[in-house]
Amino acid sequence: MFKSVKELIAKCESEDKAIHEVMLEQEMAVTGLSKEKVYEYMNRNFETMENAVHDGIQGVTSKTGLTGGDAVLLQKYIESGRALSGYTLLDAVSKAVATNEVNAAMGKICATPTAGSAGVVPGVLFSLKNQLQLTRQDMLNFLLTAGAFGFVVANNASISGAAGGCQAEVGSAAAMAAAAIVEAAGGTPRQSSEAFAICMKNMLGLVCDPVAGLVEVPCVKRNAAGASNAIVSADMALAGVESRIPTDEVIEAMYKIGQTMPSALRETGRGGLAGTPTGQRLKQQIFGD
């Protein structure tokens, strides 16, 4: 059993195992499920993610009309050849947006780790599929690796916007994805840890300020930022860049920042963007007086 990233990496190195292998063993030990059953459940989650990306790319609109169609616009922009970002990065952004647009439209998504941050992990996973030549098994292992880091965050800090702001949701999701990208790209467990730390540091202090209290604005676009942050952080770690602050200390810092964050900036829909004149007007437009 591991409870910290330090313990996770030490176990990987001492036993010469990949992160997904250690996470699989822990999942089997905790749930009592067989290896086959764990992969069966993970495959179900994978298919939910795959369907959400597909549906979002085709175009969906939320009941409120606040969000929808941006994933389509991004795909068209990619096809135009005018994109300033590289193909993989922008494709990840579009698929992250697609997933969260499906969530806002009351479609079925897989919370990774939450509904509000559900686009980041599948966004980067499906954008990297061809470039890294990932098999179905590789992609399931990607999710296990992301889950290993999510497990540590959930048990030592928070993945709740209400408890710790959006840094705990999109921040955690982005860092989880960054770590998983590194392993999928052939990096070491320690490099995965560095990618997680680099990515999480870039998201510290991010508030949760949903307009009208809905998981739409600015949530959808924050998933786009999370996906791009994950890929850049993974590249930095693969290049040999290290975090000066150990990963577990970064997670602890995130937790403490969340504890000191005003309640108005923790999913209450009262502060930040939700408290702007336009945010208040949209709330009144949707819910009335």
Residue 122 has pLDDT above 90, yes or no: yes
Per residue in 50-97, pLDDT tens?
Answer: 999 999 999 999 999 999 999 999 999 999 999 999 999 999 999 999
pLDDT mean across residues, the chain = 98
Average pLDDT over residues 145-169: 97
Q: Is the pTM of this model over 0.85?
A: yes
Crossing angle of helices 120-128 and 35-58, in 10° steps, is 90
- Residue whose token pair is 């990774």: 112
Q: pLDDT confidence of 126, banded at 50, 70, 90?
A: very high
- Residue whose token pair is 């990065």: 89
Residue 1 has pLDDT above 90, yes or no: no
Per residue in 227-272, pLDDT tens?
Answer: 999 999 999 999 999 999 999 999 999 999 999 999 999 999 999 9
CA distance 106 to 66: 13
- Residue whose token pair is 């389509």: 72
Amino acid at site 229 = N
The separation between the first and the last C-alpha atoms of the chain, rounded to the nearest angstrom, is: 52
CA distance 94 to 112: 17
